Structures are given as structure tokens and as C-alpha cells.
Structure 1
């Protein structure tokens, strides 16, 4: 008969505890900010601290659940990180931030879409760039023209 309870000689998952600690720290920061927002006068029953408080509580619950799972599971064999796909996604994010002021929302976010697709192993990058730019241009039209919200405009957005 096999015993399914964890043995006392099993060590805990250190990475799981690190993640739980990070979640707890994030919960504390959001909770602290929510506590400071609770002093702001609100014109309704739901003030500016309501949703940050809910998010803080959710993060605290996730931290506890992650710590319990780290104790239960013990050390976990994790796959090796793939640096090249992560570099493509990071290049997409950095590129979007750098391109937004000059080329606008559609082209910059099209680059992010293409680089992320390349990072996930989908190609060709130029096809994804064109598709991403087209989708982002439609999103720009919906937000800027339909909802009257301001998004960074570039040469493509200035055509309309």
C-alpha cells in the first residue's frame, strides 16, 4: 500500500516560495495604496479604494495558495528557459515603446504583434507585421474615432 502523504524528508519548492513572497509583497503594496486611497472623499458608496482592496485580497490569497503548493509539491523539475523566444518578445515590447512617439499606435503595436509571433515560432515576421498593423489600425479607429479616446498618432493614423 503506497502512502500519498508528503514525507517529512521532502524539501519545499524554493522557487514556489519566491513566487509566493513576490505575490505577498505585491499584495502589500497594492493594499497600502488602497488604504491611502480610502481617505479620498468619494461621491458614491464605492470609492477609489474598492477595487485595489479586492485586488490586494486576491493577491494575498494567491500568495498563500502558492506557498501551500510549494510545501506540498516539493522540488519541481522545470524545463530549461529558451532565451531566443524571450528575446523576441522583449524586443517587441522595447520596440513598441521606442516606436510609439514616432510611428504611432498602429505601426508600433504591429511590431509588437510580429515580434511576439516570431517568439512563439510563427513566421514570416513581415506577414505578421502587416496583419498586426492592420488589426491595430482598426483598433485605433474604434478607440480614437468611435470612443473619442486619444492614442499616439503616427503617419498611418494621420491619413484619416
Structure 2
């Protein structure tokens, strides 16, 4: 940053960043939920100084510190200016995730996850759907095969998985 832009930044008072305040509030709520959940957790070992509750408390404290830091930076207006938001790619990704959740038990892991892959690729501006859907299904089937057959873990099986 040049000296001139630093001086301009000091001279013009920055406006508080409302979006960063929302992020700070979300971090604080998450920290409080983790803290409370850990405090009310039953069965935690009391015989040791550092037990199973120590790490969630540390995460909670770290998130709370980040929330305060984010709020201070938001108040100062120190966050860089954000570019314009594009909603169409987000809608493709969220739509693909919704489709996967709705179709997972009906068509199985491979097809549902292949559709998620294709929608996410479309959201990132990659490939036509006629190409990314089969690629996604093949990759998801390989993942299903490794987990279901190799590791003996249970993933939703549809008509494609029933063949194997």
C-alpha cells in the first residue's frame, strides 16, 4: 500500500461493515453453543485436569476471540471491499446439494452425488451437464465402491449399486 493511499485511508473515516458484524455474531453464537454443549455434557471424566471437555472449551474460546476480533475490525471498517456477489453459481451448488439430499435414498449414492458434482461444476462454470453428470456418477460410484466394499461402510445403495 502506498503512502498516499494510507493517508487517504486515515483521513476518510471508514464506515462499519454490517456484513462483518453478522459474521462476528455468528462466530459468537457458535462459540456459546459449543461452550454450553460442553458444559452440559454428561459423563465427562472428572479425574483428570485435561479431559475430553478441554478441546471443545479451547475451540469455543478461540471462536469467541475471533468473534471479538472480527467485530473490532468491522467497527473500524478495515475489511477489504468485496466484489459483486453472483447468486447464480450459489443457486446451482445449493440446488445440487438439495437434489442430492432428496434423491439419496431413492436413486442411491452414485447417481445423487453425481448430480451434485455436475451442479457444482456448473456453478463453477465448468463443462456442460451432459458431460459432467456421467463423470460425477462414475467418480461417486468409485467412492461408493471403496467405502461399501473395501471398508465395509454403509452408504445408500440405489439401482446402480445393486448391480454390484
Shared fold, TM over 0.5: yes
- Rounded to whole Å, the distance in 1 between the matches of 2:11 and 2:30 is 32
Structure 1 portions without partners, runs of 5+: none
Note if 1:151 corresponds to 2:149.
no
- Rounded to whole Å, the distance in 1 between the matches of 2:100 and 2:159 is 15
Could you list the per-position Cα deviations for residues 37-60 of structure 1 after superposition, in whole angstroms to 9, with x for gaps in the alignment? 2x3145x96755344333323322
- Rounded to whole Å, the distance in 1 between the matches of 2:36 and 2:72 is 24
Note if 1:33 corresponds to 2:37.
yes
Following superposition, the deviation at residue 7 of structure 1 comes to 5.7
State the match for 1:119 in structure 2. 123
- Rounded to whole Å, the distance in 1 between the matches of 2:102 and 2:28 is 32
Identify which of 96, 104, 127 aligns with 2:108: 104
- The two structures have a TM-score, normalised by structure 1, of 0.83
Identify which of 82, 94, 97 aligns with 2:98: 94
Structure 2 portions without partners, runs of 5+: none
Note if 1:23 corresponds to 2:37.
no
Following superposition, the deviation at residue 113 of structure 1 comes to 0.6
- Rounded to whole Å, the distance in 2 between the matches of 1:153 and 1:49 is 37
Could you list the per-position Cα deviations for residues 61-89 of structure 1 after superposition, in whole angstroms to 9, with x for gaps in the alignment? 32122123213335764333222212111
Question: Alpha carbon RMSD of aligned pairs, Å?
Answer: 2.7
Alignment size in residue pairs: 159
- The two structures have a TM-score, normalised by structure 2, of 0.82
Identify which of 124, 137, 142 aligns with 1:138: 142
- Rounded to whole Å, the distance in 1 between the matches of 2:137 and 2:61 is 38
Cα 1:54–1:128, aligned 2, differ >3 Å: closer, same or farther? Answer: farther
